[in-house]
Structure 1
Amino acid sequence: MVDATMMDEFFSLFVEEFGAPNSSRPVPDDRFAKYGGILPECLLSFWRSCGFACFGGGLFWMVDPEDHVGRAQDWTRGIPDWDGKALHVFARTAFGDLYAFEPESGRVLSVYCISGLLMTERRSPASRADGEKSVRSFFAISNPEDFDFTDEDDVPLFSRALETLGALNADEVYGFEPLLALGGRASLDHLRKLRMDVHLDILRQFSTPTLRMV
């Protein structure tokens, strides 16, 4: 259940696009104490309004950063200007893409784990207000197509994966076996429900991440 009284207009646009959460759990009080002053206030207000929740039948998940400590940093090792930066994962997709906030610059880093592509804004480190703007914009302009994955015929996979493989648990993702990096095919027949932590670790082992500024 979303508490509409705690939503700002940007998150309201997200909920209009994705619908109410399919499942949710309350955010522990200590998370607000720990991440206040680190994460943008708008993100904390999203937590208050809907908790750690999944949307779109499990396509998009707002996650507990404590469950993903060090995970985004694994993908920025060796990347100039990003190696060693503090990164706090606040969302992920059914296919294991990660979205992390970097407090120093106020930027959102998108980590597309299947392809090994990292994307972020092309701007210099700025103010905390810019961090609020980055996160609000992330949610306001999002639509389900942004978080889906297409097969080798460029057809979205999520709805078919949901019907064929069933809904994901909070610790699961849809992943390809064999990995695409090892010659696997991007097809529904090769998609499986996998443990998220294990699968993302394996993807990282066979990836050479590259950064793209937009």
Structure 2
Amino acid sequence: MNNSEYIADIFSENGAFEKAQQVSSDTVETYRSKLPDLLLEIWKQHGVGSWYNGLYRLCMPDDFKGLLSQVFHADDDFSHNDCHVIAYSAFGNLVVWSERHGFVEISLLRGELTCNDLLHPEKKTGSSISLTSEFYMLSEKSSLEAHNIYDEADKPLFARARKRLGDLEPGECYGFFPALAMGGAPRLENLKRTKALEHFLFLAQLQQFTLMDYLSRPIRAVRMIG
């Protein structure tokens, strides 16, 4: 398959972007050789935008400038100089592309980082297949559940947060106040709509992150980041 076919499949599965924003050709060229050609082609054809009522949003890496340095610090494998935030969830899951290691996923709420290509290089696929899998699989229930947050009764919060607080605009998220890492509880009444960069920076500064291996059995904590 070529990139056009991959893109057609992605948007056939997830629908058109909501709250789409165009990406200039100059910006696309700025990231040439830093990000996969498939992602740059999505930017050219569709811009960036949200899927699933704002639960998941493709973004510009510059929107989160400074954030990754607070997560990685002086880590040997991950650096803000060659890693780029390309998408994020409504509650603070970051989808990052590493020029060295491909996909990196960061949970700001759990203080965890995963990078399957680093830990399991034998399973590594090409960038187009990796990106298509990430975006295409969003439509599956398990993927959407992974980006949602659950309350103390194990009930999903996103739809109720959206009803109570309104739809997220680009650059916004739903954040817990007080933050869960500070002893806050995952309750609907503790959620607020807030600026994503400011809130994500705050969450990143609260903790040191752990590299997790979710493909191993049992799941294991590999090491601390930084």
TM-score normalised by length of structure 1: 0.86
Aligned length, in residue pairs: 206
Alpha-carbon shift at residue 79 of structure 1 (Å): 4.1
**What one-letter code is carried by the residue in structure 2 that aligns with 1:163?**
K
Alpha-carbon spacing, 1:88–1:125, altered in 2? closer, same or farther (3 Å): farther
Distance 2:43 2:80 in 1: 27
Q: 1:43 aligns with which of 34, 39, 59?
A: 39
Partners of 1:176 and 1:190 within 8 A in 2: yes
Corresponding position of 1:116: 111
**What one-letter code is carried by the residue in structure 1 that aligns with 2:41?**
S
Corresponding position of 2:127: 131
Q: Does structure 1 residue 73 correspond to structure 2 residue 69?
A: yes
Partner SS, residue 164 of structure 1: helix
Alpha-carbon spacing, 1:157–1:116, altered in 2? closer, same or farther (3 Å): same
Q: Does structure 1 residue 26 correspond to structure 2 residue 2?
A: no
**1:6-44 alpha-carbon deviations (Å, 9 max, x no partner):** 8433x4444344332221011111111111121111111
Structure 1: unaligned runs, 5 residues or longer: 1-5
**What one-letter code is carried by the residue in structure 2 that aligns with 1:195?**
K
TM-score normalised by length of structure 2: 0.82
Corresponding position of 1:8: 5
Q: Percent identity?
A: 28
Corresponding position of 1:94: 90
Q: Does structure 1 residue 64 correspond to structure 2 residue 60?
A: yes
Corresponding position of 2:178: 178
Alpha-carbon spacing, 1:166–1:7, altered in 2? closer, same or farther (3 Å): farther
Distance 1:67 1:48 in 2: 18
**What one-letter code is carried by the residue in structure 1 that aligns with 2:22?**
P
Partner SS, residue 81 of structure 1: coil
Structure 2: unaligned runs, 5 residues or longer: 216-226
RMSD: 2.3
Alpha-carbon shift at residue 134 of structure 1 (Å): 2.0
